[in-house]
């Protein structure tokens, strides 16, 4: 019987030894991963401060795409816009870079900040041409704006519950003599906004919306790109015989000049 007890003791010792080793290994792995993470952060900070290796930039941007659930093509468009505005980081994403190092002018933060800002504005829209309530009570003016927003969606064949409006904000300082400030609308989801853009032809049939326009809440980079595209469309129009119209069309991440037959 003693031999059996000895075997049991040996088995228990082996199990205890195994678990002790595994615990030590896990602890070492955690410490290693922690140190690796700290080192990676330091490396990225140094890269941003001085110069970015091509593969490092692509890796960071790829992680940002996953984190924000962005479409890769959208990020490429952001990068191309940054290239037009002098941001060399764009070339890494578009794989057009020559050589392996980026200059200070095009640090990776430019693209990442633009991605973050566009994600923040994704559910927003700006409505132009809706007259403000002349009340000096701010809450009454807000309620008036919300009613107009809900009615606008209703006229576009869309049911929009008030709960789906996260926030409304008039852009610019309030002046009772000027009651036509742009209206920024923060929605809880992007779906209602996209449906509104698809249904804008319903709005155009109402005389009361003759001076009302709806646009995306653009970042500074997007506004500059929009301005550039419209200038290009205008130039093409001036050089055209008159059989076609040149307009800027497409979603915010893929705007382009299109030719439309009159």
Task: Label residue 236 by pLDDT band (50, 70, 90).
Answer: very high
**Nearest Cα to 187, choosing from 149, 157, 138?**
149
pLDDT at 165 over 50: yes
Tokens of 53: 């290796």
CA–CA separation, 248 and 8 (whole Å): 80
Task: State the helix-helix crossing angle for 72-84 and 108-121, rounded to 10 degrees.
Answer: 120
For residue 114, which of 158, 80, 164 has the smallest C-alpha distance? 80
| Domain chopping of the chain, boundaries | 1-50, 51-121, 124-216, 220-261
- Mean pLDDT throughout 143-170? 95
Burial 93-130 (b: 16+ CB within 10 A, else e): beeebeeeebeeebbbebbbebbebbeebbbbbbbeeb
Q: Could you name the CATH architecture of 124-216?
A: 2-Layer Sandwich (3.30)
Q: pLDDT value at position 61? A: 57
Token reading at 242: 């008159």
pLDDT of residue 228: 93
Residue 261: pLDDT over 70: yes
Average pLDDT, the chain: 73
0.75 surpassed by pTM: no
């Amino acid at each position: 019987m003693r031999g059996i007890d000895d075997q049991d003791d040996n088995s228990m010792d082996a199990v205890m030894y195994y678990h002790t080793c595994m615990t030590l290994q896990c602890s070492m792995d955690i410490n290693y991963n922690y140190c690796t993470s700290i080192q990676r952060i330091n490396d990225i900070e140094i890269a941003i401060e001085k110069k970015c290796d091509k593969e490092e930039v692509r890796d960071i941007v790829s992680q940002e795409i996953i984190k924000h659930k962005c479409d890769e093509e959208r990020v490429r468009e952001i990068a191309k816009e940054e290239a037009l505005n002098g941001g060399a980081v764009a070339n890494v994403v578009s794989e057009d870079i020559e050589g392996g190092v980026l200059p200070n002018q095009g640090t990776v933060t430019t693209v990442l900040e633009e991605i973050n800002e566009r994600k923040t504005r994704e559910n927003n829209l700006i409505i132009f041409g809706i007259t403000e309530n002349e009340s000096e009570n701010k809450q009454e003016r807000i309620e008036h704006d919300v009613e107009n927003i809900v009615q606008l969606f209703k006229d576009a064949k869309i049911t929009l519950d008030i709960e789906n409006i996260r926030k409304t904000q008039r852009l610019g300082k309030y002046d009772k003599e000027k009651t036509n400030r742009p209206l920024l609308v923060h929605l809880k989801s992007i779906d209602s906004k996209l449906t509104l853009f698809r249904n804008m032809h319903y709005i155009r049939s109402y005389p009361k919306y003759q001076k009302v326009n709806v646009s995306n809440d653009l970042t500074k980079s997007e506004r500059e790109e929009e301005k550039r595209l419209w200038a290009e469309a205008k130039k093409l129009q001036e050089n055209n015989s008159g059989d076609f119209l040149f307009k800027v069309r497409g979603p915010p991440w893929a705007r382009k000049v299109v030719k439309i037959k009159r």
